[in-house]
A and B are shown apart, each in its own frame.
Chain A
Amino acid sequence: MTPTTRIPRTLLAVALIALLTAVTAQTITIASPGSTGAFVDPQRNNSISAMAVSEMIADTLLLYRDSTYLPALATSWSFDEASLTWTFALREGVTFHNGVPLTADAVVFSIERIKDPADPMPAAGYLAIVEEARATGPLTVEIVLNALNPDFLLTLFSTWIVEPSSAAEGATPVGTGPYMVTEYEPDQRIVLSRFDDYWGGAASIPEVIVRNIPDTGTLVLELEAGSVDLIQFTPPRDVVRLDNAGFNAMPFGAVNAARVALNNTTLEPDLRRAICWALDRDVLLETAYAGLGDPMFTVAKPGSWAHDPSVTGYYYDPERAKEILDAAGYVDTTGDGWRERGGQAMNLDLQSRGDGEWLLSSQIVQQFLEDVGIRSTITTSERTTYYDAVRTGRYDIGWFINNSLPEPPIFNTVFHSNEYWNVTQAPREDLDTLIDAGRGTADQAERIAAYSELQRILIDDAVECPILWVLQAHVANPRLQGVKVNAQGILHDVHTWTLGN
């Protein structure tokens, strides 16, 4: 080979590499932990990380951003309290990815598809309150409720609108979102390409790859290696480190409550109260959650309208815990450091998920219980088995985290007897009544009164121990700019994100 032929080839190679770099630079990769990937059917996604995909491929009627409702597929809406009917005017000129224009019929179809008892979608529970959805014009929809819910608009956050003809048996329905699905490997990756006719303006980034990485260590490593641009639900121990290393950590959290769940049938009230006094929330926050969050004293968010400052809740007071235990007859008669009652040894069953901060939190709880003489044994299991144990009452104590909607700013629905995640094992009518009263009226004073009473009962009876308002975080490569995360942690408005150098 002569030098003259070598130079053009070298130039060609350099040009090719430059071209490839330019092409890859137009693609971003978002990764999520866990083994189950998102569905490309937007209505099927039930986890916050998977809902980011739904947000990209479909739209909802409206958006809830910074405590305000903003128009999306609906441009205006009104409520008639007498007939419990919401009326939505839909946006004109919106088309689905298959070219079909948005109509009121598509909205009705989408709601009915979610509610279908033969194959209900995850949002069906939120729409249980919907009596009927009907099209009253080509671009007008009425949704009739069977009960009042002042936060109904918020519960529409996962009612993604899909095109009816695309949702035939076995087919994947299409939406109106800024990205279209071009490749789908279940539980592995989804490739999304820009939808040029998006009503909100074509996206700046032409292609988004959404990957699923089961191992959290690998997830973080991928971000550091530069092969992934954004990781969702970063392990708390890595969030601060990555932020210090120049990555962009985006904490979020609305009503994300970490609690010590207590079996109300196996633990009597005094023992439950003692447990709640024995736990140092600051240590749990710093050790297990890298300081991401705030101590939680009652079930309502401090400073919010639902919070009753007169209900002070539990804080770390081991001496008070010991006094309560002594008075209730839990004393160490054998001198082995563990308390007994009536000659009966006590060893509480502390159930825990075996992963990450769940297990660490359980171990810290165990240590604090030991400090006041309460013996416990930790049993770890994987997620589904753990949930089954606490749900069916095969436990005494369990570390539990639930995320709730940002409104109302009080963690309350899991105490309802009709709730799948109610793990107290002692359904109570008084709690049901207060929860129903809080969500069943638009009268703010009545709501405040109901939630105040609810907070008081939950604390007085130590139904469970509120521990932390947890902040979670997504972390992005700084080249990714304008990333938006809502209070629940759902990535949104991806079409407005941009790529820097």
Chain B
Amino acid sequence: MTAFIIRRLLYAGFVVFGVVTLVFFSLQLAPGDPISLLLPAEGGGAASLELAAQLRARYGLDLPLHQQYVRYLGRVLQGDLGTSIRTGRSVTAELQRLYPATLELTLAALAIAIVVGTASGVLASLNRNGPIDHLSMVFALLGVSLPNFLLGVLLMLVFSLQLGWLPPSGRVGGVGSWEAIRFLIMPAFTLGLAAAAIIARLVRSAMLDVLSEDYVRTAKAKGLRQHTVVLRHALRNALLPVVTVIGLQFGALLAGAVIAETIFSWPGIGRFLIVSITGKDFPAVQGAVMGIAVTFVLVNLLVDLLYAVIDPRVRFA
């Protein structure tokens, strides 16, 4: 087990290195000048070429590409992700500040996805071809086909503008407080709905497979109560493929957070990434991508380990 973990962590190192290198060079290939965002806004006589040159030198953008790359890698190995061109602040500090918000949003969305998805999947499987099944699958269809940005705006129109129940956007600190939860509900639901839909469909089909197994019939024949059969015997086995999907969905949620954070003005890494990409803020983009890559790799490792816990047949050679 320990050897497995060490091996996977080494792989993770290679993955992160590959991602950073790829992002560095692809950003350089893309057109755009980060300096344009530092000059007086869009003209007015103060944006001289001399000032642009001074700003380029300040951020090392006047160096040849290979030198910029080597310099960047050297810094990263020392744990320094550089300075954001747009904000002038340390990228490491920015990520430390923003990461909790993204993690909070992603975990809340994942919790919604798991609870809503599993519940509707189980209910659908127990009422196969009944109205609940159809309702549940319509929900799943809507969940995967409704774009994040549309769902977010619809929720805002209903719950903020019409009903006035929830704040339209923003975030307040204090995880767990009612005020913080009010700000979290809509972005988390927007982000989690698609994953909930996927999980619902998967749980439904896995449950239908498991419910027809001999051991479930035996459990029923023994006179066990319905919820014991469903929860203890059927669901536990049906959840095996779901765990893998949850791991993958976590990655999708991190990606989806980019949109949800923008719509709901949620101060997380996703929004930071979008701003940094559009501003061609190289160090910030690289830092944010690295943060997301590391998270994704670690979550997948966690999922693999969880597999062994849930399914005793799985062992790590």
Chain A: residues with CB nearer than 8 A to chain B? 35-36, 39, 44, 46-48, 117-120, 122-126, 128, 155, 158, 185-189, 211-215, 217-218, 221-222, 224-225, 227, 381-385, 387-389, 391-392, 394, 401-405, 413-414, 418-421
Contact B32 A385 (CB under 8 A): yes
Interchain Cβ contacts under 8 Å between A and B, 26 examples: A35-B275, A36-B86, A46-B40, A122-B38, A124-B51, A125-B51, A126-B46, A187-B275, A188-B171, A211-B265, A215-B262, A221-B160, A222-B169, A227-B168, A385-B31, A389-B31, A394-B31, A401-B42, A402-B44, A403-B44, A404-B45, A405-B45, A419-B49, A420-B36, A420-B48, A421-B42
- Whether the pair A120, B58 counts as a contact (CB closer than 8 A) is yes
Is B144 part of the binding interface, using a Cβ–Cβ cutoff of 8 Å? no
Choose one: B33, B41, B51; the contact of A384 (CB below 8 Å): B33
**Are B169's CB and A405's CB within 8 A?**
no
How far is B45's CA from A387's CA once the two chains are assembled, in angstroms? 17
Q: Which residue of A lies closest to B39 (CB)?
A: A420
B12 within 8 A of A: no
Is the pair B54, A117 in contact by a Cβ cutoff of 8 Å?
yes
The contact string, 1 if C-beta is below 8 Å from chain A, for chain B 250-283, is 0000000000001111010001101100111000
Contact B54 A214 (CB under 8 A): no
A405 touches B44 (CB 8 A): yes
Interface residues of B in 203-226 (CB under 8 A from A): none
Give B160's nearest chain A residue, CB to CB: A225
Considering residues B43, B49, B161, B262, which has the most beta carbons from chain A within 10 angstroms of its beta carbon? B43
User: Which residues of B (90-107) have their CB < 8 Å from a CB of A?
Assistant: 94, 97
Q: Is B55 touching A215 in the complex (CB atoms < 8 A)?
A: no
Interface bracket on B: 35 or more
Tell me the complex Cα distance, A35–B263, Å. 11
Q: In the complex, A369 Cα to B124 Cα: how many Å? A: 57
The answer to whether A119 and B41 touch across the interface, beta carbons within 8 angstroms, is no
Tell me the complex Cα distance, A402–B44, Å: 7
Is there contact, CB below 8 Å, between B51 and A128?
yes
When C-beta atoms are compared, the residue in chain A nearest to B268 turns out to be: A188
- Assuming the contacts A35-B274, A46-B39, A227-B167, asked whether A384 and B279 have C-beta atoms less than 8 A apart, the reply is yes
Distance in angstroms from B129 CB to nearest chain A CB is 41
Task: Establish whether residues A221 and B168, one from each chain, have CB atoms under 8 Å apart when the complex forms.
Answer: yes
Are A211 and B170 CB-contacts (below 8 A) given A36-B86, A384-B37? yes
Distance A392 CA – B31 CA, assembled complex (angstroms):
10
Q: Are B43 and A403 closer than 8 Å at their CB atoms? A: yes
With A36-B275, A401-B42 known as contacts, the answer to whether A186 contacts B89 (CB < 8 A) is yes
Report which of A126, A187, A394, A403 forms a contact with B271, defined as CB distance below 8 A: A187
Per a CB cutoff under 8 Å, which of A36, A213, A214 touches B37? Answer: A36
Chain A residues with CB below 8 A from B50, complex form: 128, 418
Assuming A36-B279, A383-B278, is B88 touching A44 (CB within 8 A)?
A: yes
Query: A35-B275, A212-B265, A224-B161 given. 7 additional CB < 8 A pairs?
Result: A36-B87, A36-B279, A125-B48, A189-B170, A403-B41, A404-B43, A418-B49
Closest 4 CB pairs between A and B? A125-B46, A413-B45, A402-B43, A35-B275
Q: How far is the CA of A186 from the CA of B265 in the complex (A)?
A: 12
**Do the beta carbons of B45 and A218 come within 8 Å of each other?**
no
Find out whether the CB atom of A46 lies under 8 angstroms from the CB atom of B41. Answer: yes
Residues of B within 8 A of A384 (CB): 32-34, 36-37, 278-280
Chain B residues near A117 (CB-CB < 8 A): 54
Indicate with 1 or 0, residue by residue over B55-78, a CB within 8 angstroms of chain A CB atoms: 100100000000000000000000
CB-CB under 8 A from B94, the residues of chain A are 186
Question: In the complex, which residues of chain A have a beta carbon less than 8 angstroms from the beta carbon of B52?
Answer: 420
Which residues of chain B have C-beta atoms less than 8 A from A225's C-beta?
A: 160-161, 164, 168
Closest Cβ of chain B: how far from A114's Cβ, in Å?
Answer: 11
Report Cα–Cα, A421/B39, bound state, in Å: 10
Bound CA–CA A46/B89 (angstroms): 16
- Is there contact, CB below 8 Å, between B33 and A387? yes
Instruction: State how many angstroms separate the Cβ of A24 from the closest Cβ of chain B.
Output: 12
Structural contact, A47 and B48, CB atoms closer than 8 A:
no
The yes or no answer to B30 lying at the interface (CB within 8 A) is: yes
Contact with A along B134-171 (1 / 0, CB 8 A): 00000000000000000001001100110010011111
How many whole Å from A264's CB to the nearest CB in chain B?
Answer: 18
- CB-defined contacts of A123 to chain B, threshold 8 Å: 40, 46
State whether A388 and B33 are in contact (beta carbons under 8 Å apart), knowing that A117-B54, A125-B47 are contacts in the complex.
yes
Say whether B33 contacts A122, CB under 8 Å.
Answer: no
Q: Please tell me which one of the listed residues B42, B54, B87 contacts residue A403 in the complex, with CB atoms under 8 A apart.
A: B42
> In the assembly, what is the distance between CA of A388 and CA of B275, in Å?
17
Which of A117, A186, A405, A414 has most chain B Cβ within 10 Å?
A186
The 8 Å CB contact of B267, one of A48, A155, A185, A402, is: A185
Q: Please name all residues of chain A whose beta carbon is closer than 8 Å to the beta carbon of B280 when the two chains form the complex.
A: 384-385
Inter-subunit contact A414/B157 (CB<8 Å)? no
Chain A residues, CB < 8 A from B153? 217-218
CB neighbours of A128 from chain B (8 A): 48, 50-51
Contact A420 B51 (CB under 8 A): yes
Q: Using Cβ atoms and an 8 Å threshold, which residues of chain B touch A382? A: 278
